[in-house]
Amino acid sequence: MVIVADNPSVLVLESDPGLQRLFDTVLRRDAFEPIFVEDGEAAVHLLARRDVAALIVDVSLAASSLEVGSRRGIGFLHYLQREKPLLLQHVVVLSGLVPRDVPQDLPNVFLFLRKPFELDELRAAIRACARVEASVQF
């Protein structure tokens, strides 16, 4: 179940240390507790043990070694679509892909932000999708 507590957790799938520091600062400013993972498999393992209020997923990293790993970085999102579909309403996808290169089978998520994005836009998206109510167990 997605839980919105005093300091709700946000899973961040990002391997760039500079972006991790930026997300850490931005999320903590809004009273979120960021949890960083560097690949889709680590994200899957974390979701098996922990509830999160929102997810930030860089599609270039989302594949890791999941079965659709080489398909433009959407392996983790396809995992969510198959195994935890209600969690997709809590996902903000970040991508540097130009619109024509975005995979047609990208699952529907809360928001798709194209890089470069405005920090205020990301902050508003995370606050909004962390508050999306879910009435079923993930």
Q: For 114-123, how does the pLDDT look when each residue is reduced to its tens digit (9 = 90+)?
A: 888 999 999 9
Residue 102 makes CB contacts below 8 A (sequence gap 6+) with 95, 112
- Averaged pLDDT of the chain: 81
Residue written as token pair 């498999």:
41
- Residue 63: enclosing H or E segment and its boundaries? none
Query: Which class is 9-130 in CATH?
Result: alpha beta
- Residue 86: enclosing H or E segment and its boundaries? none
Q: Is the pLDDT of residue 112 over 50?
A: yes
* Domain residue spans of the chain: 9-130
pTM of the predicted protein model: 0.82
- Residue 108 sits at the vertex; the CA angle it makes with 30 and 45, to the nearest 5 degrees, is 65
Quick: pLDDT tens for 23-36. 999 999 999 999 99
What long-range pairs does 119-123 form, CB within 8 A, spacing at least 24?
A: 119/22, 119/26, 122/26, 122/56, 122/92, 122/94, 123/26, 123/29, 123/30
Which tokens go with 8? 């709700």
